[in-house]
Homo-oligomer: A and B are copies of this chain.
Amino acid sequence: MKYVYSFKEGNKDMREILGGKGANLAEMTSLGLPVPQGFTVSTEACNDYYKNNLTISDEVTSQIFEKLSELEEITGKKFGDRENPLLVSVRSGARASMPGMMDTILNLGMNSVVCESLANKTNNRRFALDSYRRLIQMYSDVVMGLPKGSFEGLFDEYKKEVGVELDTELSPSNLEEIIRRYKNEYLRLVGEEFPEDPRKQLIEAVKAVFRSWNTDRAKTYRKLNDIPEEWGTAVNVQSMVYGNTGDNSGTGVCFTRNPATGEKKLFGEFLINAQGEDVVAGIRTPESIDKLKDIMPECYEEFERICDTLEKHYKDMQDMEFTIEDRKLYMLQTRNGKRTAKAGIKIAVDQVREGLITRNEALLRIEPKDLDQLLHPVFDENDLKSKKVVATGLAASPGAACGRLYFSKEDVVKAHDDGVEDIILVREETSPEDIEGMNIARGILTVRGGMTSHAAVVARGMGTTCVSGCSSLVVDSSNKVIRTENGETLREGEYISLDGSTGNVYFEKVKLLDPEISGDFETFMQWADDVRSLEIRVNADTPRDAKVARKFGAQGIGLCRTEHMFFDEERIFNFRRMIIAPTLEKREEALSKILPYQREDFEGLFTEMDNLPVIIRFLDPPLHEFLPKKESEMRDLADSLGVEYNFIKEKVNSLKEFNPMMGHRGCRLDVTYPEIARMQTRAVLEAAINVKKKGITPIPEIMVPLIGDVKEFLFVKAIIDVEAEELFKEKGESVEYKVGTMIEIPRACVESDRIASVAEFFSYGTNDLTQLTYGFSRDDASKFLKDYYDKKIFDTDPFQSIDVNGVGKLMSISSIMARKVRPDISLGICGEHGGEKKSIEFCNKLGLNYVSCSPYRVPIARLAAAQAAIKARKN
């Protein structure tokens, strides 16, 4: 088996084996660009290392040394040689660029002998010694994992000792002393001498790269970005070139276009007389790449030519590293450059215009979820630099928010009434009763709850910034103060800022920038709409949401959760009256009070969604969710309803459930209380009739939730149809309506033929379907799923991306059964998954008609649907 490849043996399509960096070094080599030669230890060697209990096999070692010999031949230099020593850099290079992994060791191959030789050869003793010093320091840090501080400390201490401020002021003998002290420190910490054998240095460095594949940070990054464990990393060993040999040398990084704006102009910076790490370290301020034109015009010209070659070759904006050694330009790396969503769109649209790429290629180039950046306010990056992150939670709902802190719905409402505009609500965790406060707040912060907690789901739906599960904070609601782990506190009314895209929390004001949507964005989205076949609808409960979503391109409402309409103070009062009503008559009376509100809400939705379908789901949650839990609240309720406290308490107790997720909810409520379905039918259809009179075209579609058996559906449908008929007779006017169901119970999936024979549409409720298919509750699973990720049982969160093998299989069985009996049935999805790329790709493959997602995900879904369509055509 071949584990090691020289740069000449590879090309850009060998990312899997060579990693991104290695493949691109090989590609540049084959393009004839000036690349310092070297070789790549493959990702397969990395996997081999892990399989062999963290040891490098003899086979791999011998292949490394073989390629090393080749490299010695090419360069005419020799590893550890006294005359003409070869020095190399060692860099990690996974398939996808990954933060948290070991980056670089330079000057490897250096030892006392080589250092002397290099000093003589270059006639630059300072440079040789400084390179040696850097190697020891880097090796100790990244290979041996010794505390960074101890070497940096020694260095700074010594500089003080000799009264020197800049590194460049140190004399060769100063550097010799530092090297001596470094070696002593190394001996002290490791228990053995710094390895003077270059081959040992090399093998240890390779192992260090392999090890860095499994650091916590790397693992976390992989989980967040769905990078499989078994990809492994490659290691690039490259002969050194020096940007720090004097003023004819230098090093820099550059993008072929501006990665922030997308402007077509080289964007980069460089430092004269420096090695790569100096650019990153930020001790000296680098020059703009333009300056290179003046200083070394012939190098700049060559560089410009190379940039052009690379962009045309890769057909994408490139992010490059280069070094100039004695006025000779070397390319150290190229890769497709990261960019902001805004730049990404501009570059893609420009490149289409330039004829470099096709529209489809342009569409595939943007990560759908990155569009989110374009839809929310963001922090001013400049302002942010001076701010301190005091805690980090989950990036639950994107955007940035800044405002005064309040601890309860009541306080938020009061502050709002008092004229406070920017409000942040903090809660241990939110509950449906907090809706009013959440609606007012610019941002929501919770201590408990995950990415799919109440706070997170509602906030995303509202497009409100939210950081959830920020468990390092202690919220003391009674004293109205938050405390961080480090004891920092923030009190009611003080300023707090939340970054819903990173999860960062600041106990201070941070400046906000309004989103700017350029004309390219529109062009781009139009292209997406032209190719996609999936319709995109929105999950919206309010006219406000509907309006935003329509602006974002929603083609209808895929899910309106009617229960969210009950939480307003007056409504919930009547709703509670309904729940505790002892007789049908009393229940109907309470419902009749709610009817006008619901009707009005629906009128708003139909108006915003003129001529587009609006799917309204009937009441779903168990009734106990609407009742208070605390004694004091129960007493208040008893008072306001004019009944005994015990009566309320007994009702609350009788509604308690062992497993509310699997309890008395959804259509089961309509079976017990048909009057609820009757009221909701009337509210929907009266609203439709009313707006129709105003010239609006309502397309109402009633959705019955939680159907598990066709007979349940028939029972509820009969209630709806009878009530509709009565209403139409009463009003002397009628509207078309459909009755369909949510498929969210495993049984409904395997009973889909029977259900489809009577239901006019299906909407897959993948949230509940995922819970029931896996048999775990979203609220409880977060506790143990952590172990599942750690132990590599699960790669991805099935609540984020549809579980294709399980949930997807059931959906596939269902859709085939349904289409068999009703070929034109409309099939969609309305879970959280509706706005997620891979899930959308799956829905496209399944041939669903639409996906429905929260308003701020609509553009994301449009693009993801386009990408899915393009990919489907390719295969």
Asked if A768 CB lies within 8 Å of chain B CBs, one says yes
Asked if A65 CB lies within 8 Å of chain B CBs, one says no
- Residues of chain B with a CB closer than 8 A to A712's CB: 788, 793
Asked if A104 CB lies within 8 Å of chain B CBs, one says no
In the complex, how many angstroms separate the beta carbon of A804 from the nearest chain B beta carbon? 11
Residue of B whose beta carbon sits closest to that of A805: B751
Contact among B662, B708, B784, B803 for A780, CB-based, below 8 A: B662
- Residues of chain B with a CB closer than 8 A to A771's CB: 662
Q: In the bound complex, do residue A776 and residue B709 qualify as a contact, i.e. CB atoms below 8 Å apart?
A: no
Chain A residues 737 to 755 lying within 8 A of chain B, measured CB to CB, are 744-747, 750-751, 754
User: Would you give the 0/1 interface string for A781-806, flagging 1 where the beta carbon is closer than 8 Å to chain B?
Assistant: 10110011001111000000001011
Contact among B659, B744, B745, B751 for A660, CB-based, below 8 A: B659
Q: In the bound complex, do residue A671 and residue B708 qualify as a contact, i.e. CB atoms below 8 Å apart?
A: no
- Residues of chain B with a CB closer than 8 A to A794's CB: 709, 711
Contact among B672, B745, B750, B791 for A775, CB-based, below 8 A: B745
Asked if A150 CB lies within 8 Å of chain B CBs, one says no
Q: In the bound complex, do residue A777 and residue B747 qualify as a contact, i.e. CB atoms below 8 Å apart?
A: no
User: Would you give the 0/1 interface string for A669-680, flagging 1 where the beta carbon is closer than 8 Å to chain B?
Assistant: 001100000000
Q: In the bound complex, do residue A775 and residue B709 qualify as a contact, i.e. CB atoms below 8 Å apart?
A: no
Q: In the bound complex, do residue A791 and residue B746 qualify as a contact, i.e. CB atoms below 8 Å apart?
A: no
Q: In the bound complex, do residue B711 and residue A671 qualify as a contact, i.e. CB atoms below 8 Å apart?
A: no
Residue of B whose beta carbon sits closest to that of A655: B783
Q: In the bound complex, do residue B664 and residue A780 qualify as a contact, i.e. CB atoms below 8 Å apart?
A: yes
Asked if A263 CB lies within 8 Å of chain B CBs, one says no
In the complex, how many angstroms separate the beta carbon of A715 from the nearest chain B beta carbon? 6
Q: In the bound complex, do residue B780 and residue A657 qualify as a contact, i.e. CB atoms below 8 Å apart?
A: yes
Asked if A565 CB lies within 8 Å of chain B CBs, one says no
Contact A784-B751, Cβ < 8 Å, known A657-B777, A775-B745? no
- Residues of chain B with a CB closer than 8 A to A671's CB: 784, 787-788, 791, 793
- Name the interface size band of chain A: 35 or more
Contact A659-B780, Cβ < 8 Å, known A671-B791, A708-B774, A708-B775? yes
Asked if A91 CB lies within 8 Å of chain B CBs, one says no
Q: With the chains together, A658 CA to B744 CA distance in Å?
A: 19
Q: With the chains together, A760 CA to B690 CA distance in Å?
A: 64
Asked if A821 CB lies within 8 Å of chain B CBs, one says no
Q: In the bound complex, do residue B806 and residue A747 qualify as a contact, i.e. CB atoms below 8 Å apart?
A: yes
Asked if A810 CB lies within 8 Å of chain B CBs, one says yes
Contact among B715, B747, B784, B788 for A791, CB-based, below 8 A: B715
Asked if A90 CB lies within 8 Å of chain B CBs, one says no
Asked if A772 CB lies within 8 Å of chain B CBs, one says yes
- Residues of chain B with a CB closer than 8 A to A70's CB: none
User: Would you give the 0/1 interface string for A714-753, flagging 1 where the beta carbon is closer than 8 Å to chain B?
Assistant: 0100000000000000000000000000001111001100
User: Would you give the 0/1 interface string for A608-650, flagging 1 where the beta carbon is closer than 8 Å to chain B?
Assistant: 0000000000000000000000000000000000000000000
Contact A810-B746, Cβ < 8 Å, known A772-B775, A777-B658? yes
Residue of B whose beta carbon sits closest to that of A812: B750
Residue of B whose beta carbon sits closest to that of A659: B777
Contact among B751, B777, B805 for A662, CB-based, below 8 A: B777
Q: With the chains together, A794 CA to B657 CA distance in Å?
A: 21
Q: In the bound complex, do residue B805 and residue A672 qualify as a contact, i.e. CB atoms below 8 Å apart?
A: no
In the complex, how many angstroms separate the beta carbon of A149 from the nearest chain B beta carbon? 30
- Residues of chain B with a CB closer than 8 A to A662's CB: 659, 661-662, 771, 775-777, 780-781
In the complex, how many angstroms separate the beta carbon of A833 from the nearest chain B beta carbon? 16
Contact A775-B768, Cβ < 8 Å, known A659-B659, A794-B709, A806-B708? yes
Q: With the chains together, A661 CA to B772 CA distance in Å?
A: 11
Asked if A706 CB lies within 8 Å of chain B CBs, one says yes
- Residues of chain B with a CB closer than 8 A to A754's CB: 805
Q: With the chains together, A664 CA to B780 CA distance in Å?
A: 7
Residue of B whose beta carbon sits closest to that of A657: B780
In the complex, how many angstroms separate the beta carbon of A189 from the nearest chain B beta carbon? 29
Q: In the bound complex, do residue A774 and residue B791 qualify as a contact, i.e. CB atoms below 8 Å apart?
A: no
Q: With the chains together, A750 CA to B772 CA distance in Å?
A: 13
Asked if A668 CB lies within 8 Å of chain B CBs, one says yes
- Residues of chain B with a CB closer than 8 A to A773's CB: 708, 745-747, 772
- Residues of chain B with a CB closer than 8 A to A746's CB: 746, 772-773, 775, 806, 810
Q: With the chains together, A655 CA to B708 CA distance in Å?
A: 31
Chain A residues 211 to 258 lying within 8 A of chain B, measured CB to CB, are none
Q: In the bound complex, do residue A809 and residue B750 qualify as a contact, i.e. CB atoms below 8 Å apart?
A: yes
Asked if A286 CB lies within 8 Å of chain B CBs, one says no
Q: With the chains together, A810 CA to B810 CA distance in Å?
A: 10
Asked if A779 CB lies within 8 Å of chain B CBs, one says yes
Asked if A847 CB lies within 8 Å of chain B CBs, one says no
Q: In the bound complex, do residue B777 and residue A663 qualify as a contact, i.e. CB atoms below 8 Å apart?
A: yes
In the complex, how many angstroms separate the beta carbon of A533 from the nearest chain B beta carbon? 26
Chain A residues 783 to 841 lying within 8 A of chain B, measured CB to CB, are 783-784, 787-788, 791-794, 803, 805-807, 809-810, 813
- Residues of chain B with a CB closer than 8 A to A715's CB: 791, 793
22 A-B residue pairings within 8 Å (CB atoms):
A658-B777, A658-B780, A659-B777, A662-B662, A662-B775, A662-B780, A663-B780, A664-B784, A671-B788, A671-B791, A709-B794, A712-B793, A715-B793, A744-B775, A745-B773, A746-B806, A747-B803, A747-B806, A747-B807, A750-B813, A751-B806, A751-B809
Identify the 3 closest CB pairs spanning chains A and B, nearest first. A659-B777, A747-B806, A662-B777
19 additional A-B pairs beyond A658-B660, A659-B662, A672-B787, beta carbons within 8 Å, are A657-B777, A658-B777, A662-B776, A662-B780, A662-B781, A664-B780, A664-B784, A668-B784, A671-B784, A708-B774, A708-B806, A712-B793, A715-B793, A744-B775, A745-B774, A750-B805, A750-B810, A751-B809, A768-B775
